[in-house]
């Protein structure tokens, strides 16, 4: 007689390869570094109907230690559940995955980089550097930065948060911002659920606000974490101050 555990073990390699295939085709950046033994532990727990939390936490830890961003990590787990016919992954294993990833970041040495691992966006320090360049370019052209650019602010904060909530929320907004504006655009997290994008002034900024608000909500729904994001997200435009020192003061005030 075959036990539940034996049946799960027998199906595990097939589901693992299906998961790998779906992830590699849609969200995973480098197929060669996808597999780790903790993947098998997650698959076996899910197939056996056991709590996948401990295995998901271990997987999150491994992904974080390997330098995989939180968005890619969460999207990868969602691919497993999509393979099983779920529209969205359950919240509990997503939370455990994020907690593991956070533990890896807390254990890692502090390293000044241009990209924030939680959001996948440029860091606030990088944004400040880009603002310095923007104001300098405008001055050299005999113009003012606030005539050519404007800040787009996003606030998705909801109540009290814990580390995994912050990570999942940051991943959702970071991916949505990249979906709308693309990589390399001057944008960053200011902390506490607030994000900023430096955009050119153009006539249809109102349409851009609507598109971004819808994309944030849609991406949160795809990952099943709508409860972590303000509904609807607050998105608004903020005039650039006339001086570079003024915009730095403004960002510090908004992110406080």
The CA-atom distances, in angstroms, between 256 and each of 190, 193, 249 are 8, 11, 11
Given this structure, which CATH class describes domain 124-254? Answer: alpha beta
pLDDT for the residue numbered 121: 82
3-state class (DSSP) for residue 152: strand
The CA-atom distances, in angstroms, between 180 and each of 140, 152, 195, 197, 208 are 30, 13, 14, 11, 8
Residues 6+ apart with CB under 8 A from 125: 112, 114
Burial class (CB in 10 A: 0-12, 13-18, 19+), 179: middle
The answer to whether the CB of 174 falls within 8 A of the CB of 234 is no
pLDDT for the residue numbered 198: 92
Give the separation between CA 144 and CA 61, rounded to whole angstroms: 46
| Residue ranges covered by each domain of the chain | 4-107, 124-254
Confidence (pTM): 0.64
pLDDT for the residue numbered 122: 80
The parts of the chain modelled with pLDDT lower than 70 are 1-10, 107-114, 161, 183-184, 255-256
């Amino acid at each position: 007689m075959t036990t539940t555990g034996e049946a799960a073990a027998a199906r595990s390699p097939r589901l693992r390869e299906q998961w790998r295939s779906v992830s590699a085709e849609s969200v995973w950046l480098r197929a060669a570094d996808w597999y780790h033994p903790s993947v098998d532990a997650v698959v076996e727990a899910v197939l056996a109907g056991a709590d996948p939390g401990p295995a998901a936490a271990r997987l999150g830890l491994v992904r974080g230690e390997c330098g995989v961003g939180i968005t890619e990590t969460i999207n990868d787990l969602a691919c497993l559940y999509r393979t099983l016919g779920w529209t969205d992954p359950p919240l509990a294993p997503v939370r455990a995955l994020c907690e593991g990833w956070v533990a890896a970041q807390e254990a890692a040495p502090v390293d000044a980089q241009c990209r924030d691992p939680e959001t996948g966006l440029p860091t606030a320090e990088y944004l400040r550097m880009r603002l310095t360049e923007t104001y300098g370019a405008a001055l050299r052209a005999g113009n003012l930065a606030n005539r050519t650019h404007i800040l787009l602010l996003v606030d998705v904060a909801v109540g009290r948060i814990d580390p995994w909530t912050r990570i999942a929320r940051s991943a959702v907004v970071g991916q949505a911002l990249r979906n709308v504006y693309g990589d390399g655009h001057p944008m960053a997290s200011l902390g506490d659920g607030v994000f900023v994008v430096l955009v050119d002034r153009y006539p249809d900024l109102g349409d851009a606000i609507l598109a971004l608000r819808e994309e944030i909500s849609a991406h949160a729904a795809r990952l099943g974490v709508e409860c972590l994001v303000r509904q609807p997200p607050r998105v608004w435009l903020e005039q650039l101050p006339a001086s570079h020192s003024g915009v730095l003061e403004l960002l510090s005030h908004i992110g406080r």
